[in-house]
Amino acid sequence: MDEKEFSRETEILYQGAHIKGKLVTPEVPPIYLTTAFNAEDLDDVSDMYAVKAYTYIRTRNPNRNTLAELVTYLEKGENSIICGSGMAAISTALLSILKNGDHLLSDSKLYGETIDLFDKVLVRYGIETTYVDFNDLAAVESAVKPNTKVLYCETVSNPMITVVDIEAIADIAHKHAAKLVVDNTFTSSVVIRPLEKGADVTINSLTKFANGHSDVIAGSVTASGDIIKNAYGLQVLLGTTVDPFTAWLCQRGIRTMDLRVQKQSDNAAKLAKALEANPYVLKVNHPSLESHPQHAVAKRLFENGYGAMLSYVMPDSREKINAFMRKLKIARYAMTLGGIRTTLSHPVTSSHSGVPEEIRQKMGITFGLMRVSVGIENPDDLIADFNQALEVFK
């Protein structure tokens, strides 16, 4: 607009609204904090819709689209959608595949709120869920029903750190014309890419290792073009998309993911070995350990280490566990994981607090179980810190 063409109350809305001059590609992509993009006329509007151009932020946004492109590359899929959280990714993916009367066959060892989604939400839409131990292939095979459409698991379970043989489960799913959906959050594409092992859909909570800095909430679904086309259509209607700034931050974090996760995985293996040798620790769960029941499976499927998540069991003393937590100098309690600093979580009072006690016991989640997300600190410092804090059990 020409200067002083209209009154101040009008000009204040339009002056400086559009970038002038020739634009070159910036070293860092800009953040497109706009809810909509302008069109010149009705013909332009028609053309924009015809080529799926940027029109409204809920349907498409440059930051979200470029993040989807990056995640698709990392997970070796055909396309991805980016959601407002990991739970939004799980719900959008499953609701785009399942319908009333379908059966979902799930691993019995899952994140607590994923179980809540299945038991409290999907059931309301006529979707039945059966839980079995996915480490028992015969039990998985026998639990498949004629209406089973999806088999669901986590690559590494939260918080027991069991490892699912994705290749074997994929064979069972495809034998029965079902799809295998895998939550890859605990390992990330640095350690394993489930789609390369036969899975049909990979889900990630980008909040965790992908972003890595504990400052965003986002999720992703990666699969074939047809599956993502259906998921995208549902996502637009449900409004589960992520905002541009979050997408921008997450993309920035992913640029260093390989470096971070490799270091975190190495640290986790060293800490797990040290904890296993500690006299006050009853059990350690990490796939790097030969004592881990799925060590051979993890060794076959994983690359670049065994992941940065571990859990271990202490005596069931609330007083002593509190004292242990207060004595730690480095690791701190946090209701998240995957960040650059080592954090703790107590499943009984956090992630699985809503799971009935009898089910928790079957899963092996006792009061003394502590989940650890290992960071990028010096491993010797971490080991020394845990060992000195564990002295409270003497």
Catalytic residue, chosen from 183, 200, 243, 385, is: 183
343: left (phi over 0), alpha (psi -120 to 50) or beta: beta
Residues 261, 245: one domain? no
312 is catalytic: no
pLDDT tens, residue by residue, 63-76: 999 999 999 999 99
Cα separation values, 346 from 33, 184, 352, Å = 38, 21, 9
Verify that 67 and 136 share a domain, yes or no. yes
| Mean of pLDDT over the chain | 94
Report the C-alpha gap between 322 and 392 in whole angstroms: 10
Nearest residue to 204 via CA among 305, 76, 47, 107: 76
Residues 6+ apart with CB under 8 A from 259: none
Judgement on whether residues 148 and 162 belong to the same structural domain of the protein: yes
pTM, two decimal places: 0.93
Name the DSSP letter for residue 172. H
Query: Where does the pLDDT of residue 21 fall: very low under 50, low under 70, confident under 90, or very high at 90 and above?
Result: confident
Task: Specify whether 125 is located in the same domain as 223.
Answer: yes
Known catalytic membership, residue 165: no
Boundary (domain end) residue, out of 254, 286, 316: 254
The count of domains in the chain is 3
Instruction: Please identify which of the residues 58, 252, 270, 327 carries the catalytic annotation.
Output: 58
Lowest mean pLDDT among 193-197, 298-302, 346-350: 346-350
Same domain, yes or no, for 96 and 197?
yes
Show which of 10, 40, 57 is a domain's final residue. 57
**Of 236, 254, 272, which residue constitutes the final position of a domain?**
254
| Whether 111 is catalytic | yes
Q: Is residue 81 domain-shared with residue 203, that is, in the same domain?
A: yes
304 and 386 share a domain? yes
Mean pLDDT in residue range 24-36? 89
Q: What is the pLDDT of residue 276?
A: 98
pLDDT of res. 2: 53
Spatial CA neighbour of 280 closest among 334, 321, 328, 309: 321
Strands 332-333 and 148-154, bridge-based pairing: unpaired
276 in the same domain as 334: yes
Q: Which one of the listed residues 193, 208, 260, 371 is annotated catalytic?
A: 208
**Residue 133 lies in domain:** 58-254
154 and 229 housed in the same domain: yes
Are β-strands 103-107 and 128-132 bridged in parallel, bridged antiparallel, or unpaired?
parallel
- pLDDT for 11: 84
Check residue 373 and give its pLDDT. Answer: 98
Q: Tell whether the model's pLDDT for residue 4 goes beyond 70.
A: no
Q: pLDDT tens digit string along 97-130?
A: 999 999 999 999 999 899 999 999 999 999 999 9
Write the CATH number for 326: 3.90.1150.10
For the sheet with 369-373, list strands across it.
Answer: 283-285, 309-313, 369-373, 343-345, 332-333
pLDDT, average across residues 162-181: 98
Q: Is there a single domain that holds both residue 380 and residue 304?
A: yes
Do 316 and 245 share a domain, yes or no?
no
Asked if 183 is an active-site residue, the reply is yes
Rounded Cα distance between 65 and 200, Å, is 21
Average pLDDT over residues 66-87: 97
111, 131, 152, 306: the active-site residue: 111
Looking up residue 146, the CATH number of its domain turns out to be: 3.40.640.10
Q: Per-residue confidence at 133, pLDDT binned at 50, 70, 90? A: very high
Residues 6+ apart with CB under 8 A from 389: 324, 325, 327, 328, 329
Q: Is 65 found in the same domain as 41?
A: no
